[in-house]
């Protein structure tokens, strides 16, 4: 087995000017995950390490730089899954949380529940020594501008009649396979700009934004969450892997379904049980990076290879 990792930085339409930073951010995340794998660490630790790097990077819509609710607040979602044991940890609609993926991992390790939301997630977090980030610490200038732009767009009568458009992505995710052949997936997001408070998207929902099963592989999704939930995108991709489909074909088929069945926009990455990766998206762009122990220099792109 050649341990490998693939990450995404969200399906959307990022400007040309931000492409270098998005590629560099994804490469840094892949390096962090690969370091874990190179040290003999497991896939679960590798995807957590990779997502943590992306949460700290204000370029992305996760942790610092999260999309804002219509009240101008930050509420994050995150999920992490271990393909060896099918253990899952997830959190939804949690305010002012600096390290969403770490708290999701705590839920996984605790094992009593799969998904904790809102204030209840904070009660659990406090028991483990977490403290809330200062109210504006996670809010970037770009997130504020995006909220303002969305408010304006919705106020325009013509636009108000149409469905919400996915304007910009930035959700982050990672999939990995380790030397023992175990797979894992992790995904973290601020959600979609102008969401209602309390809205939980696909990211923390098992089989929607995040899924991993050693019998098939691991997948992490991004895009319009309500659409992704309707087609349980990551479960659908991993089930195709389990049935023997090649990783790239499974990713592409998942996105084709998302378009055909619910006219959803999004992207997905996956790794199969042989260590092959798949990357697909229906949006203009989706930053990604991948590397393996045999080829450790990250490959990066903003469209599927």
Q: Taking the chain, what is the end-to-end CA distance rounded to the nearest angstrom?
A: 23
Q: 47 with 80: CB under 8 angstroms? A: yes
Q: Which of 41, 191, 207, 264 binds ligand ASP (CB under 6 A)?
A: 191
Largest CA distance in the chain: 57
Stretch 2-21 residues interacting with ligand ASP (CB under 6 A): 10
How many residues are present in the chain? Answer: 305
Q: Closest separation between CB of residue 215 and ligand ASP, Å?
A: 25
- Please say which residue, 89 or 225, places its beta carbon nearer to ligand ASP: 225
Q: Which of 79, 204, 225, 275 binds ligand ASP (CB under 6 A)?
A: 225
Beta-carbon neighbour count of residue 15 at 10 Å?
9
Stretch 134-173 residues interacting with ligand ASP (CB under 6 A): 169, 171
Task: State residue 237 phi and psi, 5-degree precision.
Answer: -70, -45
Q: Say which of 73, 152, 171, 210 is annotated catalytic.
A: 171
223 forms part of the interface with ligand ASP (CB under 6 A): yes
- Please say which residue, 203 or 232, places its beta carbon nearer to ligand ASP: 203
201 forms part of the interface with ligand ASP (CB under 6 A): yes
Q: What is the DSSP letter of 91?
A: E
Alpha-carbon gap, residue 121 to 118, rounded angstroms:
5
193 included as an active-site residue: no
Element (H, E) at 280: strand 277-281
**Interacting span for ligand ASP (CB under 6 A) from 90-98, 134-142, 196-204, 257-265:** 196-204
192 forms part of the interface with ligand ASP (CB under 6 A): yes
How far, in whole angstroms, is CA 197 from its chain's centroid? 20
- Please say which residue, 88 or 273, places its beta carbon nearer to ligand ASP: 88
Beta-carbon neighbour count of residue 97 at 10 Å?
26
Sign, CA torsion 256/188/115/240: positive
203 forms part of the interface with ligand ASP (CB under 6 A): yes
Residues that contact ligand ASP, how many (by CB under 6 A): 15
**Interacting span for ligand ASP (CB under 6 A) from 78-86, 141-149, 195-203, 297-305:** 195-203
Q: What is the DSSP letter of 181?
A: S
Catalytic residue numbers, as ranges? 171
Query: What are the residues binding ligand ASP (CB under 6 A)?
Result: 10, 77, 169, 171, 189, 191-192, 201-203, 209, 222-225
């Amino acid at each position: 087995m050649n341990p490998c990792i693939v990450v995404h930085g969200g399906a959307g339409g990022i400007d040309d000017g931000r492409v270098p930073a998005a590629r560099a951010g994804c490469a840094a995340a892949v390096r962090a995950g690969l370091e874990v794998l190179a040290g003999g660490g497991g896939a679960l630790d590798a995807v957590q390490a990779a997502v943590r790097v992306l949460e700290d990077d204000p370029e992305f819509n996760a942790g610092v730089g999260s999309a804002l609710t219509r009240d101008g607040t930050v509420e994050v979602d995150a999920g992490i899954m271990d393909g060896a044991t099918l253990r899952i940890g997830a959190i939804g609609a949690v305010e002012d949380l600096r390290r969403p993926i770490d708290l999701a991992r705590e839920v996984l390790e605790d094992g009593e529940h799969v998904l904790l939301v809102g204030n209840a997630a904070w009660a659990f977090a406090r028991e483990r020594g977490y403290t809330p980030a200062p109210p504006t610490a996670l809010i970037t200038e770009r997130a504020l501008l995006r909220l303002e732009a969305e408010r304006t767009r919705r106020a325009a009568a013509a636009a108000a009649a149409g469905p919400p458009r996915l304007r910009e992505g930035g959700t982050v995710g990672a999939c990995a396979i380790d030397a023992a052949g175990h797979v894992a997936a992790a995904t973290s997001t601020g959600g979609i700009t102008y969401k209602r408070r309390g809205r939980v998207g696909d990211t923390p929902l098992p089989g929607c934004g995040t899924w991993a099963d050693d019998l098939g592989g691991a997948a992490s999704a991004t895009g319009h969450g309500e659409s992704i939930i309707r087609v349980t995108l990551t479960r659908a991709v991993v089930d195709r892997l389990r049935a023997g489909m090649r990783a790239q074909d499974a990713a592409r088929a998942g996105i084709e379904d998302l378009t055909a069945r619910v006219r959803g926009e999004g992207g997905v990455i996956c790794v199969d049980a042989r260590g092959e990766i798949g990357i697909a998206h229906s949006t203009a762009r989706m930053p990604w990076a991948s590397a393996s122990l045999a080829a450790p220099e990250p490959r990066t792109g903003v469209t599927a290879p």
